[in-house]
Amino acid sequence: MPGSTSTMPGAPDAEAPTAAHPRRWLALAVIAISQLMVVLDATIVNIALPKAQISLGISDADRQWVVTAYTLTFGGLLLLGGRIADYWGRKRTFIVGMVGFAIASAIGGLATTGGLLFAARALQGAFGALLAPAALALLTVLFTEATERAKAFAVYGAIAGGGSAVGLVLGGVLTEYANWRWCLLVNIPIAAVALFAAIPLVPESRAHGNTRYDVPGAIFVTAGLVSLVYGFTKAAEDGWDATATIGFIAAGLVLLAAFVVIELRSSHPLLPLRIILDRNRGGAYLASTLVGAGLFGAFLFLTFYFQVVLQYTPLEAGLASLPVTAGVLVAAGAASQLMPRVGAKPLMLAGTVLAAVGMLLLTQIDLDTSFLTHLLPAQVILGMGLGFTFVPLSSLALVGVPEHDAGAASATLNATQQIGGSLGTALLNTMYTSAVTAYLIGRIPDPVNQVKALVHGYTVAFAWGTGLIVLAGIATLVLIKVRKEDIPTGNAVHVG
C-alpha cells in the first residue's frame, strides 16, 4: 500500500555468524522476491476489488472485509510472527509463511462466495505475519557488516517501495485482460520460484533463551479488533444504535482491555507496555494508527471512484493511482536527507498538513472531475504528505528503546499501520454507506441520482479521512517532544 512503512524487527537475541554467509546476496534476491509478493498483494487487490465485488455479489457494507480481513490478521499477529521466527527458526518460518501465503492466495483466487474470499484474505494475513518478520530477521543475521547491511536494506526497501506501484499497474493489466482472480493467483508462481530458491540458498538461524509465546495476547488482541470492525460493519447495515452494533463494539473494547491486562501480567508479553508508554513512541504509534486509519479506506474509495464513476478501465485506474506512490518516493528521499537537520517532529507536522490538504482536495470531486487539474495534484500532495510522515515515524519507534526491545518496537509500528488501516477502512466504509443511503432518501433512484449518491458517499469518506489525519497531526504536536539529536540512525527501512 502506498505510504506503508516496514521497519526492521531486529534480532537482538540472535547469534551473529562469525563469518559472512557465502551465498548471502543470492539469499537477498530470494527474500526480495517474497517481499515483492507481499507488497504487490496490498495494491493489486484494491484495483481488482470493484470487479470482484460484482463477480461474487458482495454488498457495499461487506466489501471492506476484502481489505480488513487481511490487515487485521496481519497486524494482530505480526508481533507473534516475529517471536515465532526468532525461536522456531527464521528459514523454517519464512518457508511456511511463503507456502501458506500461496495456498491462501489460491483459495482466494478460486473463491466462489464473498465469505470464502474474506476467509482466504484472513489466511493470507496470518501467513504474511509469519513471512514478513522472518524475511527481515534473515537479512539482519545474513548481513552483519555495516556497509553490506545498508546495501541489503536499500535493495529491500527499494523493492518494497516500488512494489506498490508495480501492484497498481499489474492489478490493472490482470483485471482488464485476464480476470480479477489472477490478482491473487499470481502469488502462486512467485512463491514457487522463491520457495525452490530458498531451500538451498537461505541458511537457518534462531534465537536462544526464553522461547515462550504470548498466544493468549495474540488471540485477545486479534479477536478484539475483529469484533470492533464487525461492529462498524453492523452500523452500516443496522445503524449505530442497533443492539448488535453496540454489542460487538463493546465486546471489542472488553477484549482489548483484557489484552492489556494479559500484557501487564505476562512474563513474556507480546507487546511490552513500556514500549508504548514512552511519550514520544506512544505519540508516534498513535499518529501511525490515525494516519493508517485515514488512508487505507481513502485508497479503496479512490479506486471505486475511478472505475465506477469515471468509468476508467482497471488498467487506467491503476495508472491513475500512481501519483500517490510517486509523491511518497520523492518525499521519502527528501525526508531522509532533512531529518538529521530539522528533526522528526517538524517533518511529521508538515507531512500531516500536506496529507490533510491532499485528502481535502479529494472531498471536492464530482461526476466529471478533471484528472490533470484536480486528481493528479491532490494525489501528489497526499503522497508527499505520507512520505514526510512515515519516514520520521519509523525512526521515532526506536527512540530510547533498549536493545532487547528493538524488535518489538519496530514491529509495533508496522502493526499500528495495519490495525489503523483495518479500523479506518471499516469506519469510512460505514460512513460511506450511511451517506449514500441518506442522499437517496426523498430522491428518485434513477441512474443519475445513484451515481451522485456514490460520489457524495466518497466525499464523506474522504472528509472523515481528512479528520483522522488532522487528529494524527494534533497527536504529533501534543505528544512528541523528541529532539533531533535523540533520533537513532538505525536500520529502519522506509517504504513508499
Which sequence spans correspond to the domains of the chain?
A: 1-6+21-209, 214-267, 274-496
Q: Are 339 and 275 in contact (CB under 8 A)?
A: no
User: Who has greater pLDDT, 6 or 179?
Assistant: 179
Identify the helix (H) or strand (E) that includes residue 128. Answer: helix 114-142
Residue of 393, 387, 394 whose CA lies nearest to 492: 394
> Which region among 79-88, 192-201, 352-361 has the lowest average model confidence (pLDDT)?
79-88
User: Between helices 279-304 and 65-88, what is the axis angle to 10°?
Assistant: 140
pLDDT digits (tens, 9 = 90+) for 242-279: 999 999 999 999 999 999 999 898 888 888 888 888 88
Q: Which of 146-155, 173-182, 232-241 has the highest mean pLDDT?
A: 173-182
Residue 141, pLDDT above cutoff 60: yes
Summarize the confidence of residues 234-241 as an average pLDDT.
Answer: 86
pLDDT category of residue 406 using cuts at 50, 70 and 90: low
Fold designation for 274-496: Growth Hormone; Chain: A; (1.20.1250)
d(CA 45, CA 127): 17
Instruction: Give SS3 for 207.
Output: strand
Summarize the confidence of residues 322-329 as an average pLDDT.
Answer: 90
Backbone angles phi, psi at 14, to 5 degrees: -75, 150
Q: Which of 35-49, 130-144, 406-420, 424-438 has the highest mean pLDDT?
A: 424-438
Q: How many residues does the chain have?
A: 496
Summarize the confidence of residues 38-53 as an average pLDDT.
Answer: 87
Q: Could you identify the residue written with the cell 475511478?
A: 306
Q: How many CA atoms are closer than 13 Å to the CA of 393, on its beta-carbon side?
A: 42
pLDDT at 492: 44
Cα→Cα distances 207→96, 212, 405, Å: 18, 12, 14
C-alpha cell at 456: 457524495
Residue 26, pLDDT above cutoff 90: no
Residue 451, pLDDT above cutoff 90: yes
Residue 80, pLDDT above cutoff 70: yes
Backbone angles phi, psi at 11, to 5 degrees: -150, 65
pLDDT at 403: 61
d(CA 202, CA 284): 34
pLDDT at 407: 66
Name residue 392's amino acid.
P
pLDDT category of residue 210 using cuts at 50, 70 and 90: low
pLDDT at 490: 47
Residue 25, pLDDT above cutoff 90: no
Does the domain formed by 1-6+21-209 have CATH 1.20.1250.20? yes
56-76 b/e with 16+ CB inside 10 Å = b? Answer: bebebbbbbbbbbbbbbbbbb
Whether 1-6+21-209 and 274-496 share one fold: the answer is: yes
Residue 298, pLDDT above cutoff 70: yes
DSSP letter at 57 equals: T
